[in-house]
């Protein structure tokens, strides 16, 4: 191989080092996952240090077959002091009736329903939960997506991970056991690719925060300008974490993964979700354009096999096959650690799901690069470099040209209003003790 140009040896050496570094990420994730996840805390509250109160923000939009069960797990948590702040933007949303039924079923749980949202930016989630955030009365705020299912001790685990030097505790995304290949595909993704990056990032102090389930110090967020300060971003979770760490605070994951339990599970919608995430990563961290494809099993294996043949004259096909086999086995081991119990599918289903993920991953990333516009529910956005978003909405341009069109209003200052049992509001009826209703 001495006839090859010298720069090729340099490229081969670089890719071999990158390959070794990627395998170090595998080792870190497996070891840290084994140490961190599902560990029970022995720290118990005392009279001198009681558990703090937590305000839980639940943004809702629409209903699915599992929504009522998911929300009900928040009413039955084993935690002494918390409030539930349900936020619904559309006054005609069927989620309102579902929440009302739960408020009536659990009258002793401190809960509130906020309808109408606020206009504080382009991020629909921030707009939805902002009224609830303004009314939160406790020092800690938890933001939890509608599809999250809680165990009895999940909130306790998150609070106990919040030490004096931490301002953000977040859960690593995972999924509940559900039927169907789409559910298997989701579990394989979150238990392998996502967990590997999430766990190693937590060890190395890299921002890998996803906001589907996180606990925040409210005073720190207020110091940053409140949630409205992050309304200009679609990936508000990334920028919240970055701002928190820049103030000198630390963040870390909790011991329990976040259990996503959406009642609507299909391949197409999940792949659209992965494409949307890839677009956000590219806009926020441009180096993703190069690093992410190179970290894919099939692509990295091919490059490393070529590098091994150049540097060591090894058989590239044998190297590639061993690489894929070892990657497959390490992913199975990591998924077993995250699952912490028996798998809801057969090993053959895992093989099919794993191959499907690895083969479609590069295509989905290229799709994200080809069309940078982000479709989120019924809205479409584009991102500037750095993550600032703006909405592509013909209605907005029509409103700008029509002086009679309603203009966006600033977020109102909200004060909680107590609604007694049987009291009728302007648009909603809410019964039960300790319940608050705000319609903006």
**What range defines the domain where residue 353 resides?**
6-30+282-376
Q: What distance in Å separates the CA atoms of residue 21 and residue 285, rounded to the nearest whole number?
A: 20
Q: What distance in Å separates the CA atoms of residue 161 and residue 164, rounded to the nearest whole number?
A: 10
Q: What distance in Å separates the CA atoms of residue 187 and residue 350, rounded to the nearest whole number?
A: 9
Q: What distance in Å separates the CA atoms of residue 97 and residue 435, rounded to the nearest whole number?
A: 15
Q: Is residue 423 a part of any domain in this protein?
A: no
pLDDT tens digits, 2-28: 566 778 889 999 999 999 999 999 999
- 223/108 same-domain check: yes
What was the pLDDT predicted at 374? 85
- 131/217 same-domain check: yes
Number of domains in the chain: 2
- 119/240 same-domain check: yes
Residue 393 contacts residue 405 (beta carbons within 8 Å): no
pLDDT tens digits, 373-385: 888 777 888 888 7
- 120/85 same-domain check: yes
Q: Per-residue pLDDT averaged across 149-163, rounded?
A: 96
Q: Per-residue pLDDT averaged across 319-346, rounded?
A: 97
Which CATH number belongs to the domain containing residue 225 in this structure? 3.90.550.10
- For residue 207, give the nearest of 174, 236, 178 by alpha carbon: 236
- 10/85 same-domain check: no
Q: Is residue 389 a part of any domain in this protein?
A: no
- 288/261 same-domain check: no
- 67/118 same-domain check: yes
Q: Does 90 participate in catalysis according to the annotation?
A: no
- 67/19 same-domain check: no
Q: Is residue 260 a part of any domain in this protein?
A: yes
- 225/347 same-domain check: no
What was the pLDDT predicted at 23? 98
Out of 145, 202, 237, 331, which one is annotated catalytic? 237
pLDDT tens digits, 59-98: 999 999 999 999 999 999 999 999 999 999 999 999 999 9
Beta strands in 15-101 (DSSP E): 54-60, 82-88
């Amino acid at each position: 191989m001495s006839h090859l140009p010298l720069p090729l040896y340099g490229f081969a050496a670089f890719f071999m080092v990158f390959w070794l570094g990627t395998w170090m990420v595998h080792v870190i994730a497996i070891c840290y996952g084994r140490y961190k996840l599902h560990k029970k805390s022995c720290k118990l509250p005392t009279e001198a240090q009681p558990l703090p109160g937590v305000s839980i923000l639940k943004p809702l939009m629409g209903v699915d077959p599992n929504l009522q069960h998911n929300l009900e797990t928040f009413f039955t948590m084993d935690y002494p002091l918390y409030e539930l702040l349900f936020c619904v933007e559309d006054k005609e949303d069927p989620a309102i009736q579902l929440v009302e039924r739960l408020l009536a079923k659990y009258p002793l749980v401190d809960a509130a329903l906020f309808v109408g949202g606020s206009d504080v930016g382009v991020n629909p989630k921030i707009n939805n939960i902002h009224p609830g955030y303004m009314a939160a009365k406790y020092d800690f705020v938890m933001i939890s997506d509608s599809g999250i299912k809680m165990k009895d001790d999940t909130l306790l685990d998150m609070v106990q991970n919040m030490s004096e030097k931490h301002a953000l505790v977040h859960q690593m995304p995972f999924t509940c056991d559900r039927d169907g290949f789409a559910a298997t595909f989701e579990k394989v993704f979150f238990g392998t690719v996502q967990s590997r990056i999430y766990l190693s990032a937590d060890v190395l102090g890299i921002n890998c925060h996803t906001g589907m389930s996180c606990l925040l110090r409210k005073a720190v967020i207020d110091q940053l300008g409140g949630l409205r300060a992050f309304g200009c971003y679609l990936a508000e979770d990334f920028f919240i974490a970055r701002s928190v760490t820049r103030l000198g605070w630390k963040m870390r994951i909790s011991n329990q993964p976040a259990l996503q339990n959406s009642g609507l599970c299909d391949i197409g919608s999940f792949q659209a979700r992965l494409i949307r995430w890839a677009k956000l990563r590219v806009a926020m961290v441009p180096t993703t354009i190069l690093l992410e494809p190179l970290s894919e099993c099939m692509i990295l294996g091919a490059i490393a096999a070529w590098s091994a043949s150049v540097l060591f004259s090894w058989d590239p096909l044998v190297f590639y096959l061993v690489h894929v086999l070892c990657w497959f086995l390490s992913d199975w081991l990591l998924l077993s650690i995250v699952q912490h119990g028996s798998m809801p599918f057969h090993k053959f289903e895992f093989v099919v799901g794993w191959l499907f993920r690895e083969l479609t991953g590069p295509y989905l990333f290229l799709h994200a690069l080809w069309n940078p516009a982000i479709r989120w529910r019924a809205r479409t956005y584009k991102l500037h470099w750095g993550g600032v978003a703006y909405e592509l909405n013909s209605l907005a341009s029509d409103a700008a040209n029509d002086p009679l069109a309603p203009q966006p209003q600033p977020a109102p200052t909200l004060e909680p209003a107590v609604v007694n049992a049987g009291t009728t509001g302007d648009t909603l009826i809410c019964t039960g003790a300790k319940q608050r209703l705000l319609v903006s």
